[in-house]
Amino acid sequence: MSDTQEEYEEYKAELATLALQTNQTVKEILLKIGKMNVEDLHESYIEDMFGEHIMVGFLVVPTVTAMKILDPVAYRCDKNDYVSGIIEGDFGITFDNGSTYYYKSDVSDYLDEHLKEKE
């Protein structure tokens, strides 16, 4: 088992323990932690790399909008690669097979703050 997988399993177990201790569901706890807005992060990344606007003919258009419209498949592929980099770079984690992402630091901080030690 990889370090990332072990860490994922540890977070899952701690979330389940916290859910039992607080009589909540894991989903309710994750709602309190807050999601990572992958779309905004990816758009900011594109703007940082290529600028906020580009010129298409005589039009100046937002870079992100142009990429989404001109090649939506490439845009989605790039976004998926960006998200993979977040996960592999040890910044993010998902508990629902990639529908929602969370900052690992936010999950860890929340668990550290709210998880009661077994007595």
- Residue at token pair 């899952």: 12
pLDDT for 42: 96
Tokens of 2: 């990889």
Q: Please give the model's pTM, rounded to 2 decimal places.
A: 0.78
At 52 the pLDDT is 97
Strand partners, 36: 101
Both tokens assigned to 69:
């419209």
pLDDT in tens, 19-70: 999 999 999 999 999 899 999 999 999 999 999 999 999 999 999 999 999 9
104-113 pLDDT tens trace: 999 999 999 9
Q: Which sequence spans correspond to the domains of the chain?
A: 3-114
Residue 91: both structure tokens together = 């910044």
- Banded model confidence at residue 117, pLDDT cuts 50, 70, 90: low
Mean pLDDT of 74-98: 90
Q: How far is CA 87 from the centre of its chain?
A: 8
pLDDT band at 3 (very low <50, low <70, confident <90, very high): low
